[in-house]
Amino acid sequence: MKKSIAIVLIIILVCSLCGGFLFYWFNIREADGSLLGTAKGNRELIDDWKYEGANSQAVYSTASKSNMMDLEGATSVQDSSYLGLSTGGAKNIANFRENIRNGYFPISTDITYNGLFYDYYFDTGRQGDKPEELFSPTYSTACSKDPISGEYEYYMTVGLNSNIKESDFARKKLNLVVVVDISGSMGSTFNSYYYDGINVSKEEKLKSKMKIANESVNLLIDKLKDGDRFGMVLFDDSAYLAKPMNLVEETDLDQIKEHVLEIEPEGGTNFSAGYTEATELFNEKMLNDKDYENRIIFITDAMPNLGKTSKDELAVDVRKNAEKGLYTSFIGVGVDFNTEVIECLSNVKGANYYSIHNSEEFKKIMGEDFEYMVTPVAFDIKLNFESDRFKIEKVYGTDCKDETSNTIMKVNTLFPASSNSNGESKGGIILLKLKCSDGCITENDVNEKFYTEAKNKITVSYTDRNGKQHSNSQEVQLRSPKEEYYDNTGIRKGIVLTRYTNLMKDWILYERSERKPMYLVKYETGIIDNDYSADEVRIILGENERTSTKLTVSDSYKELFRKFREYMGAEISAIGDDSMKQEVDILDILIS
């Protein structure tokens, strides 16, 4: 009898040990946040949501941490055409258009050259042959009359081509942290200004920025794959770890999405707290894993008023992350989204940003761009222009805010971009305005020899995602401008859109600087090149809190807009791109 009892006890002990081992094997995590074990079918998916509303324990506050950087150390597109490339930084100008449509006055950073370019497809001048290099630029030239002054202007485009076939493209696995702004300003509707003091009732039919942000996160979650890791951080006055970084294949994403929809706005906007906590979810092992991309996606209305609020200070933090291979995307929500803050932060290697105003816009972005948004392919691009008769006067469409010299053009990052059925690339150009030296035009006629004998050499250098450096050179010839000419529709479209952007910036600066004459476009001088100015006056509560200004257009600019509308209409017909009529619609609002 005793022997039988002993045998039973031994059997129970062995079973207990085996059960304990199996529990350890399937549930204990490695340091990088992934679960040990085999396929997810062998274990129950986990709901690792941590945030429980305002009573959740903050993981960061301005009093508890000081330095945010203490780190040591795809679905393929089924097509046979080649991907284009586009620059980082702004990826649309939705905020500019939405402000005007809602009767608000935009600020100058709401409309950018690269943001507007990315709304359109361009003929880059690439021929049918396979590009030799990962980045294989092509060059097109034009001579075009300013529609206001009638003066000739000389342009060249850099066509951003790649040797990556769309059918071959698939992004790497992704270590992703989504950061969501849950401050009080996110409770306003997407077409109103929170700091105007307009209270939105709970019965309001229009969705709040918070609601749109929550829906956007869930659309983003749907783009993740089993091999990806995903974490989430929320912030208001402080930051909260909402979801640890774990493998998607081991996470109950349906439950996570339910939690996301329950998030409510409250508190201030400690932007740096959220960014800090997101950064700390990436360990050294993740950052050094060559099989993964590392990215923070930050969803906000960008009005920081606690912690670090200086744009320069915040940019330093984003830049330090980029140096470690951790890149940042920003998603701006609402008409009061402060593009001035984000435009500064996106002037960093690997960074980009979009503006959205409803979940349908975000759904479109996720459908068309997600794989490309998280996959930078080239960095630190420099173009050296050597010419005995021309120099670079201005560059349009780069994400680099460094002062461009008359011989050097700089770009921080190139991302993949889709191509259409005509072989045109989305956002696929950078436009250079050229200035010729004395002698390009004689007293009576164009000096033919000035162009035919000119020596223009362009050398481009860049670093690929693996750190390998590349360089290539080409000779470029400008044609003698006996009349206007355009090598292709791509450069023609780029010139029209650039002039449109400049005219809008001129108008914004003129009205917001209390109508300083220096910002008024005159018929004798033509459209002025303006990007940003400290003369831009607006009502600001804090350093970054944006309040609305009623849309106004002076008689002088109404006349200019009418003339430009006529010019743009003719150019749209010549180019054959009816999608550009959305800009005509904006002009119609301003003229009315």
What is the torsional sign of CA 261, 262, 263, 264? Answer: positive
CA distances from 293 to 171, 222, 233 (A): 8, 18, 19
Place of tokens 């030296």: 437
Phi, psi of 390 (to 5 degrees): -135, 160
Q: Is 12 exposed, middle or buried (0-12, 13-18, 19+ CB in 10 A)?
A: exposed
Contacts of 21 (CB under 8 A, 6+ apart): none
pTM over 0.95: no
Closest to 551 (Cα-Cα) out of 522, 520, 518, 586: 586
How does pLDDT run along the chain (592 residues), one tens digit per residue? 555 555 555 555 555 555 554 444 444 444 444 443 334 555 688 878 887 776 555 554 433 333 323 322 233 333 458 899 999 999 999 989 988 998 988 888 889 999 999 999 999 988 777 777 889 899 999 999 999 999 889 899 999 999 888 888 888 999 999 999 888 878 777 666 655 555 444 444 467 888 888 988 998 899 999 999 999 999 888 889 999 999 999 999 999 999 999 888 887 778 788 888 999 999 999 999 999 999 999 988 765 445 444 556 777 888 999 999 999 999 888 777 777 777 777 788 999 989 888 778 888 888 778 999 999 999 999 999 888 888 889 999 988 876 566 678 899 999 999 998 888 999 999 999 988 876 565 444 556 677 777 788 899 999 998 889 999 898 888 777 667 899 999 999 999 999 999 999 999 989 888 888 888 999 998 998 876 555 555 544 344 555 668 899 999 999 999 999 999 999 999 999 999 999 999 999 999 8
Residue 592 CA to residue 589 CA, distance in Å, equals 5
What is the torsional sign of CA 192, 504, 410, 84? Answer: positive
Closest to 379 (Cα-Cα) out of 355, 410, 402, 338: 410
> β-pairing, 456-464 with 408-417?
unpaired
- Whether the CB-CB separation of 299 and 216 falls below 8 Å is answered with yes
Residue 309 CA to residue 161 CA, distance in Å, equals 38
Tens digits of residue pLDDT in 131-167: 778 898 999 999 999 999 998 898 999 999 998 888 8
Residue 243 CA to residue 417 CA, distance in Å, equals 31
Strand residues in 38-81 grouped as ranges (E): none
Q: What is the pLDDT of residue 273?
A: 86
Residue 522 CA to residue 518 CA, distance in Å, equals 10
Residues 456-475 as b/e (b if ≥16 CB within 10 A, e otherwise) read bebebebebbeeeeeeeeee
Residue 292 CA to residue 371 CA, distance in Å, equals 13
Contacts of 244 (CB under 8 A, 6+ apart): 33, 48, 50, 231, 281
Residue 461 CA to residue 382 CA, distance in Å, equals 5
Residue 147 CA to residue 412 CA, distance in Å, equals 32
- Compute, in degrees rounded to 10, the torsion defined by CA atoms 134, 295, 169, 367: -130
Strand 408-417's sheet: what is its strand order? 161-165, 82-87, 408-417, 378-387, 456-464, 469-475
Q: What is the pLDDT of residue 256?
A: 93
Tens digits of residue pLDDT in 485-534: 999 999 999 999 999 999 999 999 898 888 888 889 999 989 988 765 55
- Whether the CB-CB separation of 153 and 433 falls below 8 Å is answered with yes
Longest dimension (CA), the chain: 123
Residue 257 CA to residue 218 CA, distance in Å, equals 6
Q: What is the pLDDT of residue 304?
A: 45
Q: What is the pLDDT of residue 187?
A: 78
Residue 420 CA to residue 383 CA, distance in Å, equals 27
3-state secondary structure of 420: coil
* DSSP assignment string, 459-506: EEEEEETTS-EEEEEEE--PPP-SS-EESSHHHHHHHHHHHHHHHHHH
- Whether the CB-CB separation of 552 and 200 falls below 8 Å is answered with no
- Whether the CB-CB separation of 476 and 158 falls below 8 Å is answered with no
- Whether the CB-CB separation of 85 and 160 falls below 8 Å is answered with yes
Residue 56 CA to residue 48 CA, distance in Å, equals 14
Q: What is the pLDDT of residue 307?
A: 43
For residue 505, count other CB atoms closer than 10 A to its CB. 27
